[in-house]
Amino acid sequence: PTLPQMKFVLERKVAIVGVPFHGGQDKIGVDDGPAQLFKFGIGDQLKCLGWNVKEEMIPVADLKPKEDPSHGVLIGPRYVGAVTQALAKTVQTHVNEGNLVLTIGGDHSIAVGSIAGTFAVHPNACVIWVDAHADINTPESSQSGNLHGCPVAFLLGLATGVPGFEWLKPCLTSNRIVYVGLRDVDEGERKILRDNNIKVFTMKEVDRHGIGKVMDMALEHVNPNRDLPIHLSFDVDGLDPSVVPSTGTPVRGGLTFREGCYICELIAETGLLIGVDITEVNPKIGTEREIAVTLGVACSITRCALGETLI
């Protein structure tokens, strides 16, 4: 396929950064997502699209602190903070070298690091967040204490004073993020979204308008002149569980496979993409077939984001 002209990426270079991390939630297995996606051939698939690929893995085990008591309800904050700090530095380096960065999780708490790394180089960037969940809980609003439900709050500066995150300076503003696919939002998060006037397209809007119109409106909101770098943060549970069964917090009534692909295709067409997160693939959940299907879908949406077209 003819790949779009990239405005912020040099020489069709992509750095794939695996983050084998499950510390933002309590289900073992999501840490195996990067290894399994590498094994499934995600790098070779991108090479076939014409990308120059380099792969690396963040050594998360080396970053685990000896002591990591909870902070209020928040579980393991120092570990999450250390991993996301290391990821932010890695992403920043790759973006500075002209790479598009594909970050593969791991749970969605890693987006604190990937997005902070992107914004360190492109502070005017915007974020399109595809997910069943808003992931904008604060230490005060979180009920589970799982930090994969909090990354957007950290990036916006709404979660402060948490040990392990001293390195993080708020880099995102509420007008530079848009959500697509939400359908399971905590009561506290609803208030945070309203109070900060954050644009949300729930599954109701997708049903009402169709994914084409929703994506036009989403881009118009965060990138009206189509000139800002885009970071796409894609939690696979934004897709319906019938499409991606091997994920830790499935919610029925989600995006179809084609709707997920269309989101990525449209963003690819802009030529503005600078970073992509693919998170919450858990190869320890489901049957062998369900795991293979989930890995295949994760690779498909990644290829679409990096320029694969139907004809």
pLDDT > 90 fraction of the chain, expressed in percent and rounded: 97
Strands 126-130 and 177-182: parallel
Identify the band that residue 2 occupies on the pLDDT scale cut at 50, 70 and 90: low
> Side-chain half-sphere of 223: how many Cα atoms within 13 Å?
23
Give the pLDDT confidence score for residue 255 in this predicted structure.
Answer: 98
Strands 230-235 and 273-279: parallel
How far from 206 is each of 143, 189, 279, CA to CA, in Å? Answer: 28, 20, 22
Q: What's the length of the chain?
A: 311
Q: Residue range 176-180: average pLDDT?
A: 98
pLDDT value at 3 more than 80: no
Give the pLDDT confidence score for residue 10 in this predicted structure.
Answer: 87
> Side-chain half-sphere of 72: how many Cα atoms within 13 Å?
16
Q: 0.95 cut: is pTM over it?
A: yes
Give the pLDDT confidence score for residue 102 in this predicted structure.
Answer: 98
Residues 7, 34, 56, CA angle at the centre, nearest 5°? 60
Kindly report, residue by residue over 259-310, the tens digit of the pLDDT: 999 999 999 999 999 999 999 999 999 999 999 999 999 999 999 999 999 9
Tell me the chain's radius of gyration from C-alpha atoms: 17
Active site residues: 108, 131, 133, 135, 148, 235, 237, 280
Give the pLDDT confidence score for residue 129 in this predicted structure.
Answer: 98
